[in-house]
């Protein structure tokens, strides 16, 4: 069971009771992160205090706590969520030269107020028993609108941030009018009403309910690891993963990321914590457990993910655009009938 450190003592007694700590608000759901926090404490002597919850709930908590918030780090998934925190004026610029050297500019927020910690690709899954690899080896996201995929695609709902960021990236690349035309065609090509999580889409393709699924890459790693149960393991073995747009701009990339809060009482410790997460050794541990892609260029992903290829082309647009274009993406999806 995940160990939760309650921070009420801090607000009552002040920081005098703990002089070396970092307080992390996180919406990440990996139990393996706990081992990382313990290792950071062993190496530095800095205690890691964790508050876990959904990103939206943690954001509301930060806003209500205001200047009295004990939070040092906000750690979450999807650049769109980090942008929401920044829009509220809750981050400060990251000062660590080590962090800014390791993380490319396109994977950092405006004014370096947040940074990627790991990457995930939004890719396409297919069942080779039903779809020839030759048919889709050069597939683009744009091709999902083609009539040949009528009633053959599954994807989760429009209220999912991963899909909103994908659409935002298409607006950035193709323009809003072309993206709206694309979205309307994709809706017409759906095999069923959007439902379930990303793993549900992969399972649908494995079971022959659809030919193509759009989902995040790390989910297939979770399924292949066996940690999600035998049924999902067997489903994962039936599908292949393909990276779209390899002949042009590259596959859509999103992130898990973190930023240092503006009112952080332990800013130096927070910078050290980010440096720790982006070190080569810790990056390897993280991606082996989360099945994401590393930020550190000298680290390879887990064996489950590496089996699908590691030298794929990534879309280089800045992830900060996903947040800036999120309102336009949401309105566009609503107009297209994407439920």
Residues spanned by the domain of 63: 8-119+254-306
Report if residue 3 sits inside a domain. Answer: no
The count of domains in the chain is 2
Helix pair angle (267-277, 32-44), 10° resolution = 120
Report if residue 155 sits inside a domain. Answer: yes
- Would you say residue 6 has pLDDT above 80? no
Q: Rounded distance, CA 212 to CA 204, Å?
A: 9
Q: Rounded distance, CA 102 to CA 117, Å?
A: 10
Based on the domain organization, do 180 and 243 belong to the same domain? yes
What is the band of 19 on the pLDDT scale with cuts at 50, 70, 90?
low
Based on the domain organization, do 132 and 242 belong to the same domain? yes
Based on the domain organization, do 33 and 171 belong to the same domain? no
Based on the domain organization, do 42 and 114 belong to the same domain? yes
- Would you say residue 5 has pLDDT above 90? no
Based on the domain organization, do 68 and 139 belong to the same domain? no
Based on the domain organization, do 176 and 263 belong to the same domain? no
Q: Report CA dihedral (4, 10, 11, 14) to the nearest 10 degrees.
A: -170
| CB-based contact 49:7 (threshold 8 Å) | yes
Strands (E), the chain: 21-26, 47-52, 73-77, 91-92, 115-126, 153-154, 212-216, 240-242, 252-261, 293-294
Q: Is residue 132 classed as helix, strand or coil in its secondary structure?
A: coil
Based on the domain organization, do 177 and 262 belong to the same domain? no
Report if residue 165 sits inside a domain. Answer: yes
Give how far the C-alpha of residue 69 lies from the chain's centroid of Cα atoms, to the nearest Å. 25
CATH number, position 204: 3.40.190.10
Helix pair angle (267-277, 280-290), 10° resolution = 70
Based on the domain organization, do 74 and 165 belong to the same domain? no
Q: Tens digit of pLDDT for each residue in 91-147?
A: 999 999 999 999 999 999 999 999 999 999 999 999 999 999 999 999 999 999 999
What's the token pair of residue 36?
């990382």
Based on the domain organization, do 100 and 155 belong to the same domain? no
Q: Is 237 left (phi over 0), alpha (psi -120 to 50) or beta?
A: alpha
Based on the domain organization, do 227 and 88 belong to the same domain? no
- Would you say residue 236 has pLDDT above 90? yes
Q: Tens digit of pLDDT for each residue in 38-93?
A: 999 999 999 999 999 998 899 999 999 999 999 999 999 999 999 999 999 999 99
Report if residue 139 sits inside a domain. Answer: yes
User: How open is the CA angle 100-268-80, to the nearest 5 degrees?
Assistant: 50
Based on the domain organization, do 208 and 325 belong to the same domain? yes
Q: Is residue 129 classed as helix, strand or coil in its secondary structure?
A: coil
Report if residue 311 sits inside a domain. Answer: no
- Would you say residue 229 has pLDDT above 60? yes
Residue 327's nearest CA partner among 87, 131, 110, 149 is: 87
pLDDT at 297: 87
């Amino acid at each position: 069971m995940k160990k939760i450190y309650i921070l009420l003592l801090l607000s009552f007694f002040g920081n005098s009771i703990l002089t070396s700590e970092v307080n992390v608000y996180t919406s990440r759901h990996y139990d393996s992160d706990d081992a990382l926090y313990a290792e950071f404490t062993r190496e530095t002597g800095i205690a890691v205090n964790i508050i876990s919850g959904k990103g939206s709930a943690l954001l509301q908590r930060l806003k209500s706590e205001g200047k009295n918030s004990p939070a040092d780090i906000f750690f979450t998934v999807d650049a769109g969520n980090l942008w929401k925190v920044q829009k509220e004026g809750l981050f400060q610029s990251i000062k660590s030269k080590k962090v800014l050297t390791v993380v490319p500019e396109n994977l950092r927020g405006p004014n370096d107020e947040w940074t990627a910690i790991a990457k995930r690709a939004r890719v396409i899954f297919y069942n080779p028993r039903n779809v020839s690899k030759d048919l889709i080896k050069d597939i683009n996201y744009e091709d999902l609108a083609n009539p040949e995929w009528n009633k053959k695609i599954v994807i989760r709902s429009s209220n999912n941030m991963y899909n909103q960021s994908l659409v935002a990236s298409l607006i950035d690349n193709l323009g809003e009018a072309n993206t709206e035309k694309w979205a309307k065609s994709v809706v017409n090509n759906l095999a069923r009403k959007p439902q379930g999580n990303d793993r549900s889409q992969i399972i649908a393709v494995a079971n022959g309910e659809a030919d193509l699924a759009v989902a995040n890459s790390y989910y297939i790693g979770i399924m292949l690891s066996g940690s999600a149960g035998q049924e999902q393991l067997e489903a994962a073995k039936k599908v292949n993963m393909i990276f779209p747009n390899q002949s042009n701009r590259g596959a859509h990339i999103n992130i898990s990321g973190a930023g240092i809060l503006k009112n952080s009482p332990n800013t130096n410790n927070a910078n050290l914590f980010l440096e720790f997460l982006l070190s080569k050794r810790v990056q390897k541990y993280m991606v082996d457990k989360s099945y994401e892609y590393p930020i550190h260029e000298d680290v390879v992903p887990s064996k489950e993910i590496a089996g699908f290829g590691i030298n794929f082309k990534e879309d280089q647009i800045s992830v900060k655009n996903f947040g800036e274009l999120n309102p336009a993406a949401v309105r566009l999806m609503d107009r297209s009938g994407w439920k």
